[in-house]
Amino acid sequence: MNILKDKRGEGYIDTVIIVFVVVLMLAFATRVLPVFIAKSKLDTFADEAVRCAEIEGYIGNETKNRINELKANTGLDPNINWSTTGKIQLNHRFSLVLTLETDIGFFSFGSFPITLTSKATGRSEVYWKD
């Protein structure tokens, strides 16, 4: 009975449990934080693509070239949906929606696919004579 009442090793067990919990939290953070970074990159990607279309007043070759540059720089390959294509008259609104499938896997516990979405809108800065 004296062995059960003895409290001499209690601090070691508490320390082991605390270290285990901290290590699990760090492992979880290393799997989840890249998703927030990808979302930030996706937002910047959308803003820069829309800005290119605003300046050009046209969704075509120049915007495709800019999107290819952004894909190379960010390492992202999102699905791209423009609200319109071709010439955009001065001060007309247009929008861009980017979607990207990302996987949050926590080692061998499973895979959790999520869809990141980024939206950006703009207005053309070019007057097209017809």
**pLDDT tens readout for residues 45-102:** 999 999 999 999 999 999 999 999 999 999 999 999 999 999 999 999 999 999 999 9
pLDDT digit string, tens, across residues 14-26:
788 889 999 989 9
Separation CA 83–CA 54 (nearest Å) = 13
Q: Is the pLDDT of residue 27 over 70?
A: yes
**pLDDT mean over 97-122:** 86
Q: Where are the domains of the chain?
A: 10-124
- Element housing 99 (H / E): strand 93-105
Closest by CA position to 126, among listed 85, 89, 92, 86: 89
Whole-model pTM: value is 0.79
pLDDT at 22: 94
The pair phi, psi for residue 2, each rounded to 5°, is -65, -30
